[in-house]
Structures are given as structure tokens and as C-alpha cells.
Amino acid sequence: MLSLATKFAPERLAFETAAAAGFRAAEFWLDANLLAKGDEIAAVAARFPFRYALHFPNKGPISTEALNACVALYRQLKCTAIVIHQPMFDRYGAALRELDGELDLAIENHILDQTNFDRWADRSPGLTLDVEHLWKFTLHDAPLAKLLEQVDRFLDRHAGKLHHVHLPGYVPGGEEHCPIHFSKDMASEVLTRLTNHGFKKLVVSEADSPFQTTEFLEQDVQWFEDWQATQR
């Protein structure tokens, strides 16, 4: 079964807030400074009943020591994926694979037109599907039916190499990076499709830090539990 995750910088208070709200999975935002504290982060993370994924730093340079720390953190926490942006994959992907050929590296889609979205999906060895990016930048806020048609097409072709999903609560013309329950109809349809294709990793309510409060996190968890009840 897939897990609903939140996303945060791996600091103790963030773990505690997410756990208290009912989350049982998290994606870490990382940079080189945080990777230097990898052992400390792993020790804190191990105290919580979470599944984990890592988000590789978005900017370089990344030292050999930081690359090793990223791989070590991935192994220690038995992470489901390392989310990585295309420029960073192009620069560091081979080095990461040399350190561990079994890493589930998952390249994220960003501002891509339809042709380049298809190229990203076809050519990338592992994928992070960001549904907000797909809807806003590739489909230009098309009707929901068009988005779901695209998700169906994507999953029919690429579900086997999909390692991670970003699913903020986006609505056309609205703010980015809102909690997943802000767009319940869309999120329910996407989660059901992921389940039908056997996806069992993390779906992240990729909400910005102002939404990382107990109230918003609890509403995400309650919405997810309500959706789960419809799948029984």
C-alpha cells in the first residue's frame, strides 16, 4: 500500500509535529550542510515510525563526502527513493550509482512542455512524478479530465519505474505547494490510479513551510484516511 508523506528539513521539531499529526512517512529536504549531519539525522529519524525518502540537494557543488553521506543515509533509513532534479542528476547521478548501483534515483519533472515531458518519462531510469508541475507547466491548467487522462497515459507506460510522487493540493490558477486536502477531488483520483497500478511507495503532500502546522497536517491525514476507507 502506498503511504502519504509530508516533506520537511530533518529537524527534530518537524519529526515530532508530523508524527503527532498522524503521518507515518516523510521526505527530507537536504543540502550539503544537512548531509554533513547525516549520522545525527539518521539517529533522530530512527526514533520515529516513518518510511523515508530523500530529496537530493538542488544546488551544488556537492562534495564526495556529501555524496557518501547521502548514500549512507539512504541505506540507514531504508529509503524508498532519492528524489533528484535533472541538472543534479546529470552532474552527480553517475557518482551516486558508483557508490551504490541499487539506489532508486527518481528524477523529477519540472517546467516541461508535452514533448519534453514525454522525453523525460521515456529516457529517465527512475521517476518522480510531480502532479502539480504536470498540471501547471505541461498542461497549462487544463481541465481535471485532461490531467487524469495524462496520468493514465503516464502510468500505463511508466508505472514500473515510478519511485516517488509529489502531490500538492493544487487547483488551476491557485497557489503552488498547498496541502493535499486543498484539492481533494484531484488527489483522490490520482491516488486511486496509483493504487490500481500497484504503486506502493510515497505520495508526498509537498506543502510549503507555512502549512507545516499541526492543524494542516492533521487535515491531510484525516483526508487520506477517508480516502483509504473508500478503497476497502
Asked whether the whole model's pTM tops 0.95, one would answer yes
Cβ partners under 8 Å of residue 30, min gap 6: 9, 10, 54, 55, 56, 57, 70
Residue 58 DSSP label: S
Judge contact between 19 and 67, C-beta under 8 A: no
pLDDT of residue 12: 94
**What angle (nearest 5°) sits at the alpha carbon of residue 24, between those of residues 155 and 10?**
100
**What angle (nearest 5°) sits at the alpha carbon of residue 1, between those of residues 15 and 7?**
25
In this prediction, residues 50-76 reach a mean pLDDT of 96
Cell of 203: 505520495
Q: Is the pLDDT of residue 232 over 90?
A: no
Q: Summarize pLDDT for 151-197 with one digit per residue, the tens.
A: 999 999 999 999 999 999 999 999 999 999 999 999 999 999 999 99
Q: Summarize pLDDT for 74-123 with one digit per residue, the tens.
A: 999 999 999 999 999 999 999 999 999 999 999 999 999 999 999 999 99
Percentage of the chain lying above the pLDDT 90 cut: 98
Average pLDDT score over the chain: 97
Distance CA 171, CA 132 (A): 9
pLDDT of residue 60: 84
Q: Is the peptide bond before 61 cis (omega within 30 degrees of 0)?
A: yes
Question: What domains sit in the chain, N to C, each tagged with a CATH number?
Answer: 3-230 (3.20.20.150)
pLDDT of residue 81: 98
Distances from the Cα of 26 to the Cα of 3, 5, 18, 105, 224, angstroms: 9, 5, 8, 17, 15
